[in-house]
Chain A
């Protein structure tokens, strides 16, 4: 008996099918450029420089009194929070009667290379908060920060606590020394002064390199093999392409912001030690006394739970909730689990605190 005869015909058929799928894919699957990532209807309520504040149209007749502003991260774009009608973070909150605003930080150019944390916290975010307070005639708003947006929001809540009624921190980057991810290892070893002085803004390609070394074989090979195995599953393909398009679209990060970010959070770890300054103002987590809802994911390989959770223990809030979910960084905000578990809990909490 030869070696060829021992191979299972089903295995051969599987390989042949995979080959056929590769050839058929362009006929069945839309090109990523043809996919529109904007799902829920919204209007641009406020703009400043390249920053836009989006206001989503309500989906319920009655809405909660306190509007929610979502400060998205500085890496990738806000679309992930409204990536697919069935997995949309924004749409879920709208359906629960929350009035949702979202900050789109825009695409910085060389002209913006000197924008720093002070601009993001004390100018852009502060002006967005003031706009929403004025538009809704309320003294305080709810603020949610995701990932690096969680850090910006944390600094904001510490510096402007009087304007924030509730704070939602979703996978925030807080304690850089406890972060066990490979991203944090790279961040700790780069000469960020030299980097920013030489190239100015942090190019998207640098971020793509960082993404590429996160689970390189699962994400770099198996994920795409799985895609070609499932090209006939329209729902799977649609969701896959949306997330892929989002992943491959990250704006540059302003040089001064990136420098302060890497040094203060990952290298010197100033925020959790209450030693950080933004625009000359001391950021003390002890100033955060409003109700806080912290969400972390056990399988987060971009911001490890050990990095996010210290926020829960460092703030002075009496009303504080910590939720740990069995998912990853993106899974927490754009998955079936987020729709069935994460968002219902958050919506309930927001309504109770509105």
Chain B
């Protein structure tokens, strides 16, 4: 079916070329980083995880979001999602490949990455992360490919594939739970040491993933003559609304615990993120604009999605903006706020801020471009097959 990706109009090729250019810049930057060491990023002794791991954390959520399409369609027989389940599965593949690339880009000794398999440590959450991430990637490739091939041949998918489809549902939940467990089991980081981290991650994932799918579906309707259907989009928007509200509710609960208990361990990081933390006469607040960006974009997004005028408008640009707003908002919340916030204050009660540098930013952009590239190719194949079936 790959031949479907080899034929496209000019916009398609220009888009791929643009992404390819970003990927090349990132490759060059990565070579510089590989030669010098991770010192070529903005990470420091005290903020030892930065942009790469924060993108990985967010993208695992986006990958898990695909289950919000698989679950209704396969388990609850919600036929309306029939045309877009494949979008969710392929998005999961692309997002997972981005995740794995970000992890490799972040390793100090990437050539030794197989040590995680050779010297497997069942007590380490990274071990389980490796298993579930690769497992879910494999499941999505298998299910997506087999079912798409079956559809193309005009047949029912083989019975045995449904075992893997059903397996992918707990896997989707597990990938993000395990990623959350990386954080919520560390005794020294009070901001992360909370049971609500995993539910919060899942809620945010189930909003951000479908939100991205809606945006892409709306784009596909315009550029690829592929209509997901008004009812499907509507149902996804409903799912997004509920998931987004639950996520923000959970964040609100974190605020309550921190500020009502007034215990510094819970409070100081939230103060640093949202209001600025005063320490030894200096106010540290470099992430404050981003966190309020999260709040403002969420309000804009949820309003656009809930208010009937914009939600039911024949012009679906409002839904597109609303979903994009939610996506960026939760990227700020989870990617920027959650991961970077955990390092402030340091275990020695000092404050060190993190600023990514140019090399790091270009690598990050390049990996996102790689994800978009893979996604474009996969969607081209899926849409090509759909058009072929309809013809």
Decide whether A and B assemble into one complex.
Answer: no
